[in-house]
Amino acid sequence: MGSENGICGAPSTDNEGRIAQPQALSWEADCLACDPFEGDFGGSGPGDGVLSDKMVWCRKSGECHTCAGEVAVSMRIRRRAEVYDGEFMRFAWCQPCCEAMAASGESPEAYEERIGLGQERRQAELAAGQGLTKASVDGAPPHPSEAP
Ligand SMILES: [Zn+2]
């Protein structure tokens, strides 16, 4: 005891010399407090519910559920797993969207911008895939629960 291991706040490294990643960022609790599907939850399956909803360091890239951008390795991201209408679903959000969610209590505009960005990207993707012009394609719903 009393050696370098006991110093509070000093950067710690593991056996391979990597700097240990911090456990949490200051805005994470605010991000998790934001329900990305607020007012949108209409599932009625008997086992419906959120199984897990947490902030993690991304280790496998994917697509952001909100902005349709890349969820890149080493980003601090939100992952959520839930059963919706009896179907198991997974979601991920990129760090910029998580930060916008965290700030959405103060200024919802930033998160709404991310949603708009996602709609634009999905429309463009759809148009490119079907050879249609952007104007002729309706935006993809932000959540599968969105009923007509
Ligand atoms: Zn995003």
Say how many Å lie between the CA of residue 30 and the centre of ligand 1: 16
Say how many Å lie between the CA of residue 16 and the centre of ligand 1: 32
**pLDDT per residue as tens digits for the range 81-117:** 999 888 999 999 999 999 999 999 889 999 999 999 9
Say how many Å lie between the CA of residue 115 and the centre of ligand 1: 8
Can you give the pLDDT at residue 46? 80
Can you give the pLDDT at residue 55? 96
Say how many Å lie between the CA of residue 92 and the centre of ligand 1: 8
Neighbours of ion ligand 1 (CB under 5 A): 64, 66-67, 69, 94, 97
HEC per residue, the chain: CCCHHHCCCCCCECCCCCECCCCCCCCHHHHHHCCCCCCCCCCCCCCCEEEEEEEEECCCCEECCCCCCEECCCCEEEEEEEEECCEEEEEEECHHHHHHHHHCCCCCHHHHHHHHHHHHHHHHHHHHHHCCCHHHCCCCCCCCCCCC
* pTM attached to this predicted model: 0.70
Say how many Å lie between the CA of residue 32 and the centre of ligand 1: 15
